[in-house]
Structure 1
Amino acid sequence: MRNAVVFLAVLVGVLALLALGGAAIVLGEADDSPGLQGIGVLVVIGATVVALRWRGA
């Protein structure tokens, strides 16, 4: 049961980071802000790396 709770917590965290990064990319495009787009891309890449490297242990 503990593994399921930890998995759910990591999943929710990764999905939240992906949503935040995606929103930063879109809002950076609307405001013509390359810095915000870059931060959004880094957040999305970081969340993807965490999701792929996490083993659940």
Structure 2
Amino acid sequence: MPDGGTRLTHRERFTGALTVFGGAMFDRTRAGFEAFNTAFKARCEQPSMVDGR
């Protein structure tokens, strides 16, 4: 990134004949991914313990 930051793209793609039956399961999966992404972002934005900050 031009400002020295980092971009993480987290993507899942579900394909196949059985995906039409996945409704609620995919909603829970999406919620889990979103929770992970939120927690991961917060963790990455914490000051580093390695460099003493």
Q: Tell me the TM-score normalised to structure 1 length.
A: 0.45
RCO comparison, higher one (Cα < 8 Å, 6+)? 1
